[in-house]
């Protein structure tokens, strides 16, 4: 029963490797729960430090967690479930239990790529995170990332411009939006893929959760793409874990002498694959999935793959629009506008104000996306948006979204 798996996953003082060792020794959470003190102590390989926690047989907390899952429409995937990804089972410390919201992909039969990078990143990093996320998804890959600000957010937004599922692995309970401004993004992901976590509902995003979470990102993937990362970045932890797990590591080259790129550039010096577009990542696995992957730069190839894979013609998608109602995905091709037209840009707007205003429309757009598209420093974009609001040309919406006024 699920309550025994929740009980095992919430034992204090055992850790991820300890729980994996217990499952190796005893097979299932039910068996671990049923054992007595003498059974534990007479098992070769049992660590006595686990004993006190395992002798607490109360299921009250587990039952409360299951009620929370039911209320939040969160499903559970146990290590014993036949749907549990073999890729993840093969790492040294697989989670005993995963919570998920949405539709769980068949990871073992898909080219899943983890896209990671720094929260504090440049406009260059934001732009390429979104571009690579979109290219990987449009080429038939599943993009997996965390839900953090910066690179993670933009990679996930780019991947949502596709028919492929998108996956975010969280460092907190799935009932908690972290960061808060990604509320609508997480809603979109749960509708077009799934949110995953090994932490039960009501678990706060504690600092120590994220390095532990990273092993799941790499464990579910064939390879990890580092978009932009300074030294001592969490993205580099994920890259190290990927190497330990036998995964490939890819990196996007960054500007020399820029601290945001120092870690990812070092990975390239140390042997990571340098890539310049999303297909360069996926083509490493094309022989494994010949009927599922295609070069998204070639419409004819994509048409053939989509017909084989989905039984339909290649859909034409415009970027996903994130609005404050949070429940619509815009798929129609929008009318192209020429922002150089004098009618589009008021005469009193010049310089950076004009450039930022040209990117605004009636559809809400996030400040990070404005930064990526404009190529301006984030502080300049913020300043321009403030002046546009003062002049009555822009409206700020919840979650740091903006639109024309």
Q: 28-32, 236-240, 314-318, 326-330: lowest mean pLDDT where?
A: 326-330
Name which of 22-31, 79-88, 336-345 the model is least confident about: 336-345
The residue that leads in pLDDT, 379 or 2, is 2
Give the span between the Cα atoms of 190 and 375, in whole angstroms: 30
Tell me the C-alpha distance between 180 and 398, whole Å: 10
- pLDDT given for residue 318 in this prediction: 39
Look at 362 and 146; give whichever has higher pLDDT: 146
Checking if the pLDDT of 154 tops 60, the result is: yes
The whole-model pTM stands at 0.75
Q: Given a cut of 80, is residue 27 above it in pLDDT? A: yes
**Domains identified in the chain and CATH numbers:** 2-84 (1.10.150), 107-310 (3.40.50.450), 351-404 (1.10.10.10)
User: What pLDDT is stored for residue 389 in this prediction?
Assistant: 83
| Strand order from edge to edge, sheet including 365-366 | 365-366, 401-404, 394-397
For the segment 172-190, what is each residue's pLDDT rounded down to a tens digit?
A: 999 999 999 999 999 999 9
Q: What is the mean pLDDT of residues 252-278?
A: 91
Q: How far is CA 286 from CA 155, 167, 293, in A?
A: 21, 21, 6
Q: What is the pLDDT of residues 224-245, one digit of tens each?
A: 999 999 988 889 999 999 999 9
pLDDT on residue 341:
40
pLDDT at 399 over 70: no
pLDDT (tens digit, 9 = 90+) per residue, 341-372? 434 567 778 788 888 898 998 888 887 788 88
């Amino acid at each position: 029963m699920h309550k025994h798996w929740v009980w095992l996953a919430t034992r204090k003082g055992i850790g991820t490797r300890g729980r994996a060792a217990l499952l190796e020794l005893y097979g299932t959470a039910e068996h671990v729960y049923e054992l007595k003190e003498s059974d534990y102590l007479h098992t070769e390989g049992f660590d006595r430090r686990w004993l006190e926690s395992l002798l607490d047989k109360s299921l009250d907390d587990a039952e409360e967690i299951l009620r929370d899952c039911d209320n939040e429409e969160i499903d559970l995937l146990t290590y014993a479930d036949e749907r549990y990804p073999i890729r993840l089972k093969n790492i040294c410390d697989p989670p005993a239990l995963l919570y998920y919201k949405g539709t769980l992909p068949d990871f073992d039969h898909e080219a899943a790529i983890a896209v990671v990078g720094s929260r504090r990143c440049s406009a260059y990093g934001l732009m390429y995170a979104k571009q690579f996320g979109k290219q990987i998804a449009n080429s038939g890959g599943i993009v997996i990332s965390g839900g953090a600000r910066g690179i993670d957010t933009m990679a996930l937004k780019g991947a949502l411009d596709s028919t492929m599922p998108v996956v975010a692995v969280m460092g907190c309970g799935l009932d908690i939006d972290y960061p808060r401004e990604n509320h609508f993004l997480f809603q979109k992901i749960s509708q077009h893929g799934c949110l995953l976590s090994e932490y039960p509902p009501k678990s706060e995003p504690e600092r120590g959760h994220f390095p532990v979470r990273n092993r799941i990102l790499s464990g579910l993937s064939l390879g990890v793409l580092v978009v932009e990362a300074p030294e001592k970045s969490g993205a580099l932890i994920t890259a190290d874990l990927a190497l330990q797990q036998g995964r490939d590591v890819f990196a996007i080259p960054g500007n020399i002498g820029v601290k945001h790129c120092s870690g990812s550039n070092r990975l390239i010096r140390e042997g990571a694959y340098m890539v310049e577009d999303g297909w360069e990542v996926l083509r490493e696995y094309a022989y494994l999935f010949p009927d599922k992957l295609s070069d998204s730069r070639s419409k004819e190839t994509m048409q053939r793959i989509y017909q084989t894979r989905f039984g339909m013609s290649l859909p034409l998608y415009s970027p996903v629009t994130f609005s404050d109602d949070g429940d619509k995905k815009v798929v129609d091709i929008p009318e192209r506008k020429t922002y150089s037209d004098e009618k589009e840009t008021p005469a009193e707007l010049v310089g950076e104000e004009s450039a930022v205003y040209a990117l605004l429309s009636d559809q809400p757009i996030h400040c990070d996306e404005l930064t990526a598209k404009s190529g301006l420093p984030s502080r300049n974009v913020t300043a321009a948006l403030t002046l546009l609001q003062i002049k009555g040309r822009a409206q700020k919406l919840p979650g740091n979204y903006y639109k024309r006024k």
